[in-house]
Structure formats: C-alpha cells, structure tokens
A and B are shown apart, each in its own frame.
Chain A
C-alpha cells in the first residue's frame, strides 16, 4: 500500500516493537516529529535537555532491558552531540539505533545550515551507517538496521534520512511485515544467502567445544572470567551452572557485572587494574583460564605478554575479530555465550576443587576497609546498599565512584549494572539511569556519580523532573577529579595540574532549581536520613556526599604492568 514516507518510518519502528524513543527535534527532522505527533499513544518520546543525554538514555534503556534502544536527533550539531553517546554504546556493544535527518538533497554538500556528514563521522563508532537518499528504501534499511544492531555482537547503528526523503508529499510502497519474516525479504534475504555473511550468530564448532570439554576435565586449578558478553548475551544462568559444575572461582570484569552474582561463594571480585587480590592472583596461578565474552582490554590484561602465561587460556566470544586481538590464546570457541555454555555444560561432569579454592580465597576478594575521620566511600556504599532493594539498578559515571560502586555492590542479573566500561564516558550515568528507569519502572534506579561527572550532564535533571522519572543520584563529592589526582599523587610528584574542582556549584540548590530535592551529607547518620527521605519522596533526589579529597581506589595495578604487581593494596 502507498503511505507517507514518515509514516513508513514510524510503522517500521512499530514492527520492531519500539514504544520508547529518546530524542531532540530540530529543523531537518521536523517531518518525522510531525508524524510522531499522531503516534503519541503508541510511542513515548522523551525530550531530553541535550542530545548526548538522549543518546545515553537510549543506551541505558537498551542495556537494562535487552531491547534495542532508539534515539532521534536533528542534523548538524544535533547529530554531532550524539557522537559521544554513539561511541559509548559501540565500545560496550550496546544495541541502539540512532536516527538523524540531514539537509535536503539540493543542499547536500554545500555547507548548508546545520549540515554535517554524520554518516562519515559515525563510521568508526557504529556497526553500520546508512544515508537514505531514496524513500522507497526506507523499510528495507530500517529492518536491516535493527537486525544489524541486535544480532551477532550487538552495537549501535545510525540512519541518516535526507530531509526531502521525509517530505510530507513523498509516498512509498509499504507493506507491513512481521519481524520474524524480515530475513525473508529485501536486503536481509540477499545476505542470508551470501557465504561468509554472519548476520546470524555463528553456531559453535563442535570440535572446539569438545577440546574445551577435554581441557576442563584435565584442569586442576580452573578459573573463569565473566565478561560483558555474558551480560549482553543474557547467559548468566548458563555461566553460573558452568562455574558450579567446574567448582571454579570467577573473576568478573567491569562490564561483566551482573553476569555472575557478585555475592556468589565462587566470586572473587573484579579483575584488572582495580581488581581484587584474589582475582588477579588467581589469574596468575590457575592452570586453565576460560574467559567468556571478554576482550582482554588494557584494563584487564594490563600486560598482554605476561597475562595468564602459566595457564591454558581459552577465549569464548561471539566476535571472531576478538580472538587473538589483544592476548594470544591457546584455544577459542566462537559463538553466543549462552549457546556455547549450554553445549559445554551438557558435556562436563561436576567436580570439586577444595584445595585450589582455598588457595584462591586465602587472598582478599574485597577491598580492605580503611578507617578515617571522614565519611568514607565504603561507608557511603554500605549505607546505601542497606537501604535499597537488592535488585536496584545501578548506573555509574566514570571515575573513582565507578570503581568503588562496582567493587562494593553485588550485581546479580544482567542489566543491573550500567557503566561506561570501554569508552569511559564521564556524564554517561544520569542519562543511562533515566533510560533504565523508563525501561524498568518497577525497579529502583541509583545513579552513582562524582562531582566532576555530574556537572558534565547535570542538565538532564530537567528531563528527570519533567517526566518525573525517580532516580536517586549519589554524588561522591571530593572536589577533585578523583581518578586523575591519585595518578598525579603517585606518578607526577603531587603536581596537581587542573584536577581541582573546588569551584563546584551547590548541588542541592541545583537539584532544587530543577524541581528535584537534595541533601548534602557528611556523616553516615545524615546519609541515612537523606536516603530515607529520598525513598519516601519517590521523585528525583540528589544526595551530595562529602568525602575526603585524598581517597583512593584500592587495590591498584599500574597500566602495562603484570596483573599481580599491585601499586596499592
């Protein structure tokens, strides 16, 4: 049937089950927004304060729900404001479809007002980009874009429509097609037939599985790493079964938080630069190390040459390009974590390793508590943890508070922890928290942040207030760039160059200006009272926790050095 092009766009989104969009309008995308006006009962659009906030919100929504997030922005600055959000989603393999509109074809390439080559800019930070110049291709391209974002290793995709393509008088032939039939038509069908095209997740090679099963049988000191792939692949149950059957300690990467319960007796805590003693030492002493959905980043395999050198190192990943990219492994299995682990679990027998476990767990799995006159981050986190439901979603920004939060909280399901691990985006947290709350209205959502990070996107408190999305923001306020200062302290001879943030605003007043409530606390008692008030109030709340400037993240291994080479314990 013939329909308006913009109607086809929105109908294609509905085919995908989209009911939530985060975005910000502007000149070139007005036609699409006009269409959206007729769909208000089917699609909830959240207008953020800034496009970056919309991008992070769509990302947080995707990470916490497992669905594909959708984000709209206009051309030029609207589109470039998305880029940090796109790169954040790309680095952490989060499926988000970004939709922008560009100037009309007759203005393209003429440095027109708000014109930018966003498909060119987004190329290295997306799985795919599409510049739509022909309205008739709309259904094919949107179906393809969602398939690309969600299948295999997930990730962001960008579609840029020329404004003339979305003009109200443009009609195209659109035939509704249920999502399950998308792969039978159009470009997706062409790909399906192509040799070597792996839009479908590869089925694991059985010889690879058998070899892994044999190695598991031979291992005396087995160890597992739970990476972000376990979270994205929602393979937590299979991973727990594997760990319990193998009776193997589990180190959890930053992105793996929620893939394996942090409170499980086999959990050794985080691994890497700020990993626990138990995790890092076990990686250095095990005889079999199976890393699932982890890419051995420079924050985990700090020194790729010496990483788990003594062990048989096995890599399970959905992305062939990750095999051997950072660390040379002894064996690998390519496939979806859930499927691979299912196959392995069917083939192994339960075993026990009491001696090996005793050895691993003789080292600290948790951060040592350091006494202080001031309220410590440890006290802040313990207080908060005691007040909130254990299934609360935690969105973090980037820095010390991120490490502390992830070290202290026990995440027990995929999507419970939302953090910018790969790209390390300061300002990610509030947008992500709002997206998560929208996608999970029944869960409590905490936004952990620092005074530096919060100032980067604090304007999203306007969104929080306007749509009444109740998120509790906890600021670890040390009036400094806490992750950088210790480096200056330890490595740069206390030359604190440009890391002093003592000129921050009054965060409580700022929250109030947006219609939220807030409290500034410097003792555990004050924090308890503030948390009680925040929970009872039920709307957006900001708690500014004053902590000492010289708090450090412990333990710490220096970049590039052996994983057991702790600078701080």
Chain B
C-alpha cells in the first residue's frame, strides 16, 4: 500500500541522510522523494512515497519525529491530497511522427520544451497516474530519456502540516 509522508525539516546538511537512513535501516525502499525549500528558506519540505505495510510506516513516522532536525511529520491520506509530479520526456521524433506526439502532448496538457530534427522534449506536471499514462502514450514513439521529480504533495483545504 502506497503512503505519502510529508516532512518539514530544518534546511541543514545531512538531514536528508538521516531521514532516508531511517528507511534503509529497516530494509525498505523509498519509491520517490522530493525535497525543496518552503517559503521559509531555513525549512525544507520532503515528500516521501513508500510502498509498505501500515506498521512499518507508522514506526518510521514515529522515528522521524524523534530526529532533532525534524519539525513536523504527517502522512497525507490519498483523498485529502493534492499531489503533482513533473516529468521531462525526450522522445525520438521526425517529420512523420512529430504531429502525433504533439497531439498526445496537447491532450495531456503538456508542453514542448525542446525540439530537434530527430527528437522532442516534452514536459508535464500532473498526478502520478496521469504521468504514467503520458509515458504509456509516448512509448510507441521510442522514449530516449526520462527525468521525474517525484511527487510533491499538500493537503487539500486550509489545513496543513
């Protein structure tokens, strides 16, 4: 079962290391991880997606709370969450396929960031499901490279962590 954990931390060296260490020492894998400063530059938000049993996530959440550098931890429930990730996809493109790729991109609400005689680089910011679908639709055109940010998420409504 996938869980989204949002953590506010002090923006300091090695904090990320300490946090990921809590996962790795329990031998489980982080599916995605996104880090960035918040409106307050001294505080970063880390969004972690893990796929694991409830108990493990609960234990990690408690351990996260014990770290000196951690300010707040919250598991965000799926139906309370606005989650987005950004993907950049480089696909091979030629005069024959360019229009079809453009169609896919437009239907999905993506953008063309770069174009060359033999390739196109597309950008999409969407939920993970839509990003997966985007990739699926582009696959027949031969994908050359992919970069994803991992999900960033906030809670719906005025409430936050």
Contact = CB atoms under 8 A, between A and B. Distances in A.
B68 A127 contact: yes
Contacts of B67: 128
Interface residues of A, number: 21
A559 interface: no
A194 interface: yes
Contacts of A198: 65
B18 to A, nearest CB: 6
A195 interface: yes
B62 A119 contact: no
B63 A321 contact: yes
Interface in B3-36: 13-14, 17-18, 21, 25
Contacts of B96: none
- Majority SS at the chain B contact face: helix
Contacts of A195: 72
Nearest to A144: B68
B157 to A, nearest CB: 19
Contact of A321 (B14, B55, B62): B62
B68 A128 contact: yes
B13 to A, nearest CB: 7
Interface in A318-333: 319-321, 323-325
Contacts of B18: 123
A44 to B, nearest CB: 30
A120 interface: yes
A319 B59 CA distance: 12
Interface string A314-348: 00000111011100000000000000000000000
Contacts of B66: 127, 319, 321
B14 A120 contact: yes
B65 A119 contact: no
Contacts of B59: 321, 325
B68 A196 contact: no
A119 B14 contact: yes
Contact of A194 (B21, B55, B62, B71): B71
A124 B14 contact: no
A129 B18 CA distance: 10
A320 B17 contact: no
Contacts of B21: 123-124
B65 A320 contact: yes
B23 to A, nearest CB: 11
Given A120-B14, A196-B72, A320 B62 contact: yes
B65 A321 contact: yes
A148 interface: yes
B69 to A, nearest CB: 8
A113 interface: no
A49 interface: no
Contacts of A124: 21, 25
B78 interface: no
Given A127-B68, A194-B71, A321-B65, A120 B17 contact: yes
Nearest to A148: B68
Nearest to A147: B68
Contacts of A148: 68
Contact of A197 (B14, B25, B63, B71): B71
A153 to B, nearest CB: 8
Contacts of A510: none
A127 B66 CA distance: 8
B58 interface: yes
A314 to B, nearest CB: 19
Contacts of A91: none
Contact of A196 (B17, B25, B71): B71
Interface string B52-84: 000100110011011110011100000000000
Contacts of B65: 196, 198, 320-321
A508 interface: no
A197 B71 CA distance: 7
A171 B26 CA distance: 43
A151 to B, nearest CB: 11
A119 B71 CA distance: 20
Contacts of B25: 124
A483 interface: no
Nearest to A119: B14
Interface in A93-126: 119-120, 123-124
Contacts of A128: 67-68
A324 B14 contact: no
A131 B72 contact: no
A194 B65 CA distance: 12
A319 B63 CA distance: 10
A317 to B, nearest CB: 11
Nearest to A325: B59
Given A120-B14, A124-B25, A324 B58 contact: yes
Contacts of B58: 324
Contacts of B62: 320-321, 323, 325
A6 to B, nearest CB: 23
Interface string B117-139: 00000000000000000000000
9 contacts: A124-B25, A194-B71, A196-B71, A196-B73, A320-B62, A320-B65, A321-B59, A321-B63, A324-B58
Pairs of residues from A and B, 8 with the lowest C-beta to C-beta distance, nearest first: A321-B62, A128-B68, A321-B63, A196-B72, A320-B62, A124-B21, A123-B18, A124-B25
Interface of A: 119-120, 123-124, 127-129, 131, 144, 148, 194-198, 319-321, 323-325
Given A123-B21, A321-B62, 12 more contacts: A120-B14, A120-B17, A128-B68, A129-B14, A148-B68, A196-B65, A197-B71, A198-B65, A320-B62, A320-B65, A323-B62, A325-B59
Interface of B: 13-14, 17-18, 21, 25, 55, 58-59, 62-63, 65-68, 71-73
